[in-house]
Amino acid sequence: MNAVEYCLLHGLKVAGPEHPALLSAGETLSYGALEQRVSQFAVGLREAGVGIGDRVGMLMLDTPDIVAMHLAAMAAGAVAVAMSSRASPEELEQILAIVRPAALVIDGEFAALAASAIAKASPQTKLIRREHELAAWKAKPAWGIVSSSDTTINPEVERFGYERAQMKVTEIDSSHLVMLSHPTEVVGVIREALASVTAPGVQVDAQE
């Protein structure tokens, strides 16, 4: 279990999916909603080419999305690097030259600053905007697997959270590590998810 799983599962198990996890002036996220957003952002980062060990820069305002992105980067196997929103153009260029992030996630008001710094110091960095890419990732459909014999997290909590998030749910009679005990069924769910979001004619490759 990694740090992201511990944080989210501990919150879901102790507080429940409806309990507030993040509160801000503009938005409040429950543990169930945070779990879904972290999953959506992690999938989006992988689709954007972020790999294990890559760095994901965050030049963002203090909203629940910056927390979700930090956890999502970790969930994707990357390293989250928060950058100061008060950095000058020269300072941001120096930071990017050192960090060399695979992606830089920004709020819109930092778009011009980030684009200029990337062009000068880290041209391989992919720019991801909160108002565009992150908004689209939030709207993507999601799938979940409930391990009905799970003793790490109550299956009822999982069901409730998944249903509240309007996710497509598959139940498997398994313990917590369902991907190890029932790999064929898990791959089947992954293939179904990939097929539903893949353009016609594109071959889906999810190997067991």
- Tally helices (H) and strands (E) across the chain: 9, 8
The reported pLDDT for the residue numbered 58 is: 98
pLDDT at 203 > cutoff 60: no
Q: Where does the pLDDT of residue 148 fall: very low under 50, low under 70, confident under 90, or very high at 90 and above?
A: very high
The whole domain housing 156 covers 143-197
Same domain for 134 and 147, yes or no, is: no
Helix axes 64-75 and 3-14, enclosed angle (nearest 10) = 120
Cα gap 163→31, rounded to integer Å: 14
- Nearest in space to 2 (alpha carbons), one of 57, 59, 79, 58: 79
Structural domain contains residue 207: no
pLDDT at 65 > cutoff 80: yes
Q: Where does the pLDDT of residue 205 fall: very low under 50, low under 70, confident under 90, or very high at 90 and above?
A: low
Q: Which of 138, 157, 176 is where one domain is finished?
A: 138
Cα gap 21→38, rounded to integer Å: 13
- In the chain, the number of structural domains is 2
The reported pLDDT for the residue numbered 16 is: 75
Largest CA distance in the chain: 56
State the pTM of this model: 0.72
Per-range mean pLDDT, top range of 15-24, 34-43, 150-159, 175-184: 175-184
Same domain for 129 and 38, yes or no, is: yes
Three-state DSSP string of 110-148: HHHHHHHHHHHHCCCCEEEEHHHHHHHHHCCCCEEEEEC
The reported pLDDT for the residue numbered 190 is: 84
Q: What is the mean pLDDT of residues 56-60?
A: 98
Structural domain contains residue 205: no
The reported pLDDT for the residue numbered 98 is: 97
Q: Which of 92, 115, 138 is where one domain is finished?
A: 138
Same domain for 154 and 87, yes or no, is: no
pLDDT at 40 > cutoff 90: no
Average pLDDT of the chain, as a whole number: 86
Same domain for 127 and 150, yes or no, is: no
